[in-house]
Structure 1
Amino acid sequence: MSKKEIAFHGLMAAVVLVTALLTRCRLHKDLEDMRWHLTIYGVTVRDTFGNPVQLASYTGQVMLIVNIASKCGLTTSQYSGLRKLLEKYEDRGLRILNFPCNQFGSQMPETDGQEILDHMRKEGANIGHLFAKIDVKGARAEPLYKLLTRQQHDIEWNFVKFLVDRKGNIHKRYGAELEPAALTDDIELLLGR
C-alpha cells in the first residue's frame, strides 16, 4: 500500500470513529431526554414510615406536590392554605403530597414517622399525604424532585408547589411565597378536565 492509501484509510477510520462517538453521545442524550419526559407515575417515593409508594397509585388525580417545613416563617399560613384547598377540592380529586425537607435553614427538624405526625396533629395540619423527609435540590435530591425541576426553576425555599394534571404531567410550578389560595383557578382548570 502506498503512503496515500494508508493516509486515506487512516482518515476514513478516524471519520468512522468520530461519527460513532457522536452517534453514541446523541443516542445517550436522546435516551436521557426520553427518561425525563415520562410522567411522574413511574416514580416511587417513601411514606413517613419508610414504606414504598408508587405515584402511579395517584393516576387520574390532580396532585399538588409541596416541600414542607415546620419552623419556617411561612409554615402557619401555608399549612392553613393547604388545608383549605384540601377541604375544598379533595372530593373532586385533588391530592396534596407533602414532602418534609430540612435543607432550608434546618426548618424541619422532626424525624420521620411518629414525630412528624405528632407535629402535624399539634398544628392541625390536615394537609394531605405525608411522605419521608427528603432533599429537594442538589446531588442528593430525590428522583421525584429531579423530575419536577428538570425543566423548571430550582427549589428556592420551603413550600414550593408543583401542580400535576390527571395524566401525570407537570402543569405549573409556584414559588414559596405564593399562598395556596392563589392556585384555585389552576386547580379548577385541571379538575374540570
Structure 2
Amino acid sequence: MTPFKICGLSTPETVDASVAVGAAHLGFNFFPPSPRFVEPGTAASLIARVPSGVGRVAVLVAPDDALVAAVIEAGVTILQLHDAGAERVGELKSRYNLPVWLAAGVKTRDDIRSAEKAAGPADLLLLDAKAPNDAPLPGGNGLAFDWQLLIDTRPGRRFGLAGGLGIGNVADAIRRVAPALVDVASGVEESAGVKSVDKIRAFANAVRAS
C-alpha cells in the first residue's frame, strides 16, 4: 500500500482515527494563517498519542530557528518546509539529524525542475498545486495540478503527491503517478480545518483500493 499522510490534525479524535487506519505520517501545521494551525504546546499533547512507528511531521513555512526548536521540543520527527531552499534544508538536517521534506508548488514542467533543484538534500520532495497569487497559504488549498506533468517530467528523486487529493481521486492518482507518498488535508475535512473521522477512514480505504 502506498504510504499516506493525514495533514493538519488538531484534535485527539482525528489523531487517533488517523493512527487506527494506518496512516504512515501525521501532519501538524505550525503556520498561523492556516485554519489548521496548532501551537507547539497543543501539538505536544497530540503527538504524545502517536505511536513511535508513525511519523510526526511539522508543517513549517519559512520558519525561524526558534519555531523549529519549539516544534522539535513538541516531539515532531520530520520537518516539512515550505518557502525554503537547499541551503536551509541542509542546515536543518545537519543541525537536528532529522528527515527534512521540501514542499513545492507545481503548475508547469519548469516548476518540477525548479523544485528538484531547490530540494537539495531533502529526504522527500512533496509536490503540491501551486497556490494562486492571492492565496494566503502556500499549500493545503484543496487544488490539484495536472498529474500528467509528473508522467511527462517525472522527478529523478523520491517524491510525494499532495494537492486536491480526496476519497474520490486518490486511487487514480496512485495508479497514474506512483508517488512514494500521498498527502491529504482538505480532502478529509467537513469544513476548513475541521477533520472528519469518517472521511479519514474512507480515504484510507481508497488508498488501499489503489
TM-score range, shorter chain: 0.3 to 0.5
Q: Which has the larger radius of gyration?
A: 1
TM-score (norm 2): 0.33
Highest relative contact order (Cα 8 Å, sep 6+), 1 or 2?
1
The structure in which a higher percent of residues are helix is: 1
TM-score (norm 1): 0.35
